[in-house]
Every structure is written in structure tokens, then in C-alpha cells.
Structure 1
Amino acid sequence: MTKKAVKRRKKRNNHSGMVIIACVVLILCIVLTYNSVQLKERLAADQESVEMLQEDIEEQRELKEALEQKESYMDSEEYKQELAREKLGLAGPNDIIFKKR
């Protein structure tokens, strides 16, 4: 083979190799772009879930506070007297009792 033929063959091989490398790089870019889009969508969904869970946590805190207030009221003497009046029909020492005839 002549030197020119060898040079042509090398150029063709180099050109073919460059085309193959370009295709591989293009495919990698496409795959990475696709995965990036999917990750962004997943991130948005996860952020929405976090926001919903934060709202649930706040609701539970408010419920807990309300229950603690109710518990402290139920432990009070005032609640016990009110319950005795309503459920048991008892009267306090300063209460006036009316009877039906």
C-alpha cells in the first residue's frame, strides 16, 4: 500500500470514530436530559408532599393544644362541679333549688 492509501484509511477510521463518539455523547445527553426532567417532576411532587405534611403537623399541634386545654379544664374544680350539677343533679351550698309541683 502506498502512503496516500494509508493516510486515507486512517482519516476514514478517524472520521468513523468521531461519528461514533459524537453519537454516544448525543445519546448520553438525551438520557441525562430525560432523567433530569423526571427528577424535577419527582422533586416537585416531593415538595408538595412535604408541604402537605407540614400542614398536617400544624393541624396536629393545634389539636394537641386544644386537647391539653380541655384536659386542664376537666381537671379543674369548676368542671367537676358543673358535671355534678348536670349529670348527678347535685347542687352547691349557695345554689337555689326549684321544685315542680
Structure 2
Amino acid sequence: MVKRKVVFRKKRQNRLGMFLVLTVVLMLLVVVSFKSVELKQKQETYAAKEKALQEQIDAENARTQEIEEYRKYTQTKKYVEEVAKDKLGLVKEGEIIYKPKD
């Protein structure tokens, strides 16, 4: 009878231990699941931010290229002539100017 009580206690302790281990594993599974969902949401947010920033970088690169082309254009003789005509009213020698009648 004493042996039977010892066996019963061991089975009871074994079941309690298994229940505790199962509870801990389930809690870990729940925590990992929630963190996984949070990380996926953060990843989507960061991907959207990365896309927006890449678009800004591309726009700024295009703008930089336009500014460089304009800088090169302003150093040409044609640009100097246009500015002289438009802003200073200068004309080339032998050029005929038509003035509209009032």
C-alpha cells in the first residue's frame, strides 16, 4: 500500500509538471505570436517610409541634373545673347528691329 501511494504521488507530480510546462510553452507561443504581428506591422511601415524616401532621392537627383544642365547652359554664348536682348535691350550689329505701330 505504501508503494501504491508513492506511485500515485509520482504520477500526480508528473501530471502537474507536464501541465506547468505546457502552460509555459503556450504562454511563450502567444507572446511570440503577438511580437511577430507587431514586427510585421513595423516592417510594412518602414517599407513604406523607405519607398517614400527613395522617391524623394530620385526627385532630388533629377533636380540636381536639371540644375547642372542649366548651369552649363548659362555659360554658353547663346544664353548671354538672350539675356542681353531681353533684359538690356541690346541688339546685334546690322539687326533690324520692328516696332509695332501705336
TM-score, normalised on structure 2?
0.89
Q: Residue 47 of structure 2 corresponds to which residue in structure 1?
A: 47
Equivalents in 2 of 1:46, 1:85: separation in Å?
Answer: 53
Gaps of 5+ in 1: none
**1:18 and 2:18 aligned:** yes
| TM-score, with structure 1 as normaliser | 0.90
The structural deviation recorded for 1:80 is 0.7
Within a 5 Å distance, the mapping from 1:1-40 to structure 2 comes to 2-40=2-40
Structure 2: gaps of 5 or more residues: none
Cα RMSD after superposing both structures: 1.8
Matches within 5 A, 1:21-100: 21-98=21-98
Q: Distance in 2 between matches of 1:79 and 1:47?
A: 44
Cα offset, 1:17, TM superposition: 0.7
Which deviates further from its counterpart, 24-33 or 58-67? Answer: 58-67
Which protein, 1 or 2, shows the higher relative CO under an 8 Å CA cutoff with sep ≥ 6?
1
CA–CA separation in structure 2 for the residues paired with 1:96 and 1:21: 100
What percent of counterpart residues are identical? 35
Deviation, 1:55, is 0.9
C-alpha deviation, 1:50, in angstroms: 1.0
Alpha-carbon distance in structure 2 between the residues aligned to 1:51 and 1:100: 55
After superposing on structure 2, the runs of 4+ consecutive aligned residues of structure 1 that deviate more than 4 Å are 98-101
Quote the offset at 1:69 in angstroms.
1.1
What is the rounded CA distance, in whole Å, between the counterparts of 1:82 and 1:98 in structure 2? 17
Number of aligned residue pairs: give it.
Answer: 101
Q: Would the alpha carbon gap of residues 95 and 28 (structure 1) be closer, same or farther in structure 2, given more than 3 Å must change?
A: same
